[in-house]
Structure 1
Amino acid sequence: MLAKRIIPCLDVKDGRVVKGVNFVNLRDAGDPVELAATYDKEGADELVFLDISASIEGRATMVEVVKRTAGEITIPFTVGGGISHVDDMKRLLRAGADKIGINTAAVINPSLVKDGSRKFGSQCIVVAIDAKFNPEWGEWEVYTHGGRKATGTRALAWAKEVEQLGAGEILLTSMDADGTKDGFDLKLTRAVSESLSIPVIASGGAGRVEDFYKVFQDGRADAGLAATIFHYKEMTIRDVKDDLRQRGVEVR
């Protein structure tokens, strides 16, 4: 079994890290370069950088901020937001990203997943899925454009499709749990994790140290991602890893 990973997420808007609840009411959380360096020192396994307004504003990801961030860290670094072409991927990989995260663009143009994985390898392509429970369906729906647009696509079916297209990993965010600190969405995470053979990063809802244990044991996730609790020093990455080790979970 692969060691479970703990991954802080930097949601960046206008060059600053921000965090909200259920994708709204954003508040400032600091400088992305400084935070990235801090998390690297604290023992984060990887880092995710999401330019959350790039797709809405129809512009490319901030390459300079990516370059500066990459220069401060030694851990793997996933960058997403505003990526709509293979050339965008190449630009960010050259700027220092190790993996590319795509969400809205993948839904609009699924062949982007295939093209990216063919050119750079599937390990380089992370498909981010923002999912919200649809009570009429009794399952989860995919949202795009920073959680603003319902797609009519079922999250489980979409996750299976992008795996077939060549995605190497899924970054799965529960919009219902995002920022609530009530725990990860275990039903959603388990449903997706058990239907795929590629790793699933669970995102949305972490509030206590034990939430990570639950998402690994009950949600079957391969990695746990969080933002609010780490940005505002409610707990450290070391706190989480120490707790997991005590519970017999292998971490790095």
Structure 2
Amino acid sequence: MIVGGEARTSGLARRVVPCLDTRGGRVVKGVKFQGLRDAGDPAELAARYEAAGADEIVMLDVSATIEERQAELRTVRRVRERLGIPLTVGGGVRDFESAGALLDAGADRVAVNSAAVADPALVGRLAERFGTQCIVVAIDAERVEGAYRVRVASATRAVELEAVAWAREVASMGAGEILLTSIDRDGTREGYDLDLVERVAAAVSVPVVASGGARTPADFVSAARAGAQALLAASLFHDGDFTVADVKRVLLEGGVEVRP
């Protein structure tokens, strides 16, 4: 629980992470995973965000799992050619081969979601093969009657998993980080789901990346105070409302340490 506006902001500097949801080699963005619109070229946006001070980039191929394929390697290579900061890539990761192909194409880390739900032991196998630091488990969570339920396949399918318990399980199996997206807040500009962030951050010892709903830089401060070690946003940056530098300045003013 956050008391008196104070936060768990000690420890490592918080990371500001623009997200590139891609489909067909283009960046797309929607609301609650629906109504996707074109938002630009991923390589150009990645380079722009790095120049503005982004700490890393997350790129998620939103149709890969549904289309039963892995994320487009050509797009990963194009982004890596323009990028000097860390790159996490997700979409269609289901085994050693698909994860290794993304790493070979230039990803520093891979994010796995639906395949981990189908085969939880996959998390441990990937961590053993590639190292814990390379494995991110993405969790898309929807609030249902006071609890958070996991959805997979770009949030098109609900499963019988409670998000906090699932985060705890994958962290114990070797996930190096949790990418936590609130389906209810995705693209809505209503602010992060702080209750969700706080519950998961309190349950795991690995970093939590808060995702879904950022509207202003003040929302990043709130998510950091709820326990997120990294703060992800898409629409806020794609639409040019704020820059990474704007967000970092407000975080510093709010007493949250950030990377230069």
Q: TM-score range by the shorter chain?
A: over 0.9
Structure 1 letter corresponding to 2:241: E
The DSSP-based 3-state class of the residue aligned with 1:127 is strand
Percent of residue pairs identical: 51
Of 173, 180, 201, which residue of structure 2 is paired with 1:193?
201
SS in 2 for 1:34: helix
Q: Do the aligned residues in 2 keep the contact of 1:184 with 1:215 (CA within 8 Å)?
A: yes
Give the match for residue 250 of structure 1.
257
Give, in angstroms, the shift of residue 164 of structure 1: 1.1
Gaps of at least 5 residues in structure 2 are 1-10
Structure 2 match to 1:89? 99
Q: Deviations over 1:198-244 (max 9, x none)?
A: 00000000001100001111x21111100001011010000000111
Query: What are the superposed Cα offsets for residues 126-178 of structure 1, whole Å, 9 maximum, x if unpaired?
Result: 0000000111xx21000000000000111011001101110000000000111
1:146 aligns with 2:159: no
Q: State the match for 1:99 in structure 2.
A: 109
> Which residue number in structure 2 is paired with residue 133 of structure 1?
143
Amino acid across the alignment from 1:241: K
Report how far residue 180 of structure 1 moved.
0.7
Question: Does residue 12 in structure 1 map to residue 22 in structure 2?
Answer: yes
Q: Output the amino acid matched with 2:131.
A: G
Deviations 1:60-101 (A, max 9, x none): 210011011111111110000011111111111111100000
Equivalent of 2:73, from 54, 58, 63?
63
TM-score, normalised via structure 2 length: 0.95
3-state SS in 2 of match to 1:113: helix
Residues of 1 paired with 2:187 and 2:62: CA distance? Answer: 15
Structure 2 match to 1:211: 219
Pair 1:110 & 2:124 matched: no
Report the secondary structure of 1:225's partner residue.
Answer: strand
Q: Secondary structure at the match of 1:239?
A: helix
1:225 aligns with 2:235: no
Q: Structure 1: which 5+ runs fail to align?
A: none
CA distance in 1, matches of 2:66, 2:109: 22
Q: Distance in 2 between matches of 1:140 and 1:26?
A: 24
Q: Which runs of 4+ in 1 moved over 6 A?
A: none
Kindly state the Cα deviation for residue 194 of structure 1 after the two structures are TM-superposed: 0.5
Q: For residue 192 of structure 2, what is the aligned residue in structure 1?
A: 184
TM-score by length of 1: 0.98
Aligned residues: 249
Amino acid of the structure 2 residue aligned with 1:208: T
Which AA in structure 2 matches 1:93? L
Is the 1:141–1:154 Cα contact (8 Å) retained in structure 2? yes
Residue 45 of structure 2 is matched in structure 1 by 35
Tell me the distance in 2 between the aligned counterparts of 1:229 and 1:246.
19
Deviation at 1:112, TM superposition (A): 1.4
CA RMSD of aligned residues (A): 0.7
Does 2:89 match 1:79?
Answer: yes
Structure 1 distance, partners of 2:102, 2:224, is 30
Partner in structure 2 of residue 156 of structure 1: 164
Distance (whole Å) between structure 2 residues aligned to residue 111 and residue 41 of structure 1: 38
State the one-letter code of the partner of 1:145. Answer: A
One-letter amino acid of the counterpart of residue 123, structure 1: Q
1:86–1:112 contact (8 Å) kept in structure 2:
no
Shift of 1:245: 1.1
